[in-house]
Amino acid sequence: MTALPHWIEAGLAWLYPPVCQICGDHRAGTAEGLVCSTCWRKVRFIRPPFCDRCGLPFEGAITSSFECTNCRGMDLHFSSARSAVTASGIALEVIHRYKYQRAVWFEPFLADLLTREAVPVLRAGKWDMIVPVPLHPVKEREREFNQAARLSLPLGRALQIPVNERLIRRILPTRTQTLLSRAQRAENVRRAFVCCDGVRLQGERIVLVDDVLTTGATTNACAAVLRKAGAGEVCVWTVARGL
């Protein structure tokens, strides 16, 4: 698990008893993100078979590698996208409370899900840096933090590669993607991201990180900007995958 700063741990221990903040029935400390082992076991990790390109899991006995029909019809700028768990049940509840209710005590839990799944895969290749998907400055001020940036830090420490928040920025305050179709999502973010001033890449291999991937529209828009700036390859990792 990823440790919170001591002053945050002390504050949380004073505000919240060492009990699971999901079920309220079992003991769970801040190091576990206040999620007990019983609730932790209900999280659905993504296992094969899944699409080689976007990571969408499939039911059934598919034994060979494959690319789903959605990916075949899209102009994708990332080489692959993978997620640790499905965006359902406890995982989705925790992500929503973390992002929208500032439930920062869940951060070690979410960071652990991401690092335990991403690190073995990413260590098999040579990646140069991690880039979190940026929020628009107005949204970040409202939320008081960028969840993608916060979750990128423990992944960077585990892989011993830098996290770079100064490559791309979000210039359009786009509406929420939740109720939009796939085509609407892509159009909504198509011009939302640009490279920061003076950025010139020289073939770097980049890991793009976000909390949730659904259609891939946001991460694809970011990947397009990075590739145009000279990135050699962009892969995507998220904590959860919408189904």
Instruction: State the pTM of this model.
Output: 0.89
List all residues 6 or more positions away from 11 whose beta carbon is below 8 Å from its beta carbon. none
List all residues 6 or more positions away from 167 whose beta carbon is below 8 Å from its beta carbon. 131, 195, 196, 199, 201, 206, 226, 229
| φ, ψ for residue 223, nearest 5 deg | -60, -40
Helices (H) and strands (E) in the chain, counts: 9, 6
Query: What 8-state DSSP symbol labels residue 125?
Result: S
CB 226 within 8 A of CB 201: yes
Q: What is the pLDDT of residue 186?
A: 73
Q: pLDDT by residue (tens digit) across 38-73?
A: 999 999 999 999 999 999 999 877 777 888 888 887
Q: What distance lies between CA 136 and its chain's CA centroid? A: 16
Q: What is the pLDDT of residue 20?
A: 94
CB 94 within 8 A of CB 22: yes
Please give the domain boundaries of the chain with CATH numbers for all domains: 1-42 (no CATH), 44-241 (3.40.50.2020)
57: cis peptide before it, omega within 30°? no
Alpha carbon separation from 223 to 31, 77, 198 (Å, rounded): 33, 5, 18
Query: Residue 211 corresponds to which amino acid?
Result: D
Among 27-36, 125-134, 198-207, 226-235, the range scoring the smallest mean pLDDT is: 27-36
State the average pLDDT over residues 162-167. 97
Measure the CA–CA gap between 236 and 153, rounded to whole angstroms.
Answer: 15
Angle value at C-alpha 183, between 84 and 141, nearest 5 degrees = 60
Q: Which of 201, 199, 223, 191 is nearest to 210 (CA)?
A: 223
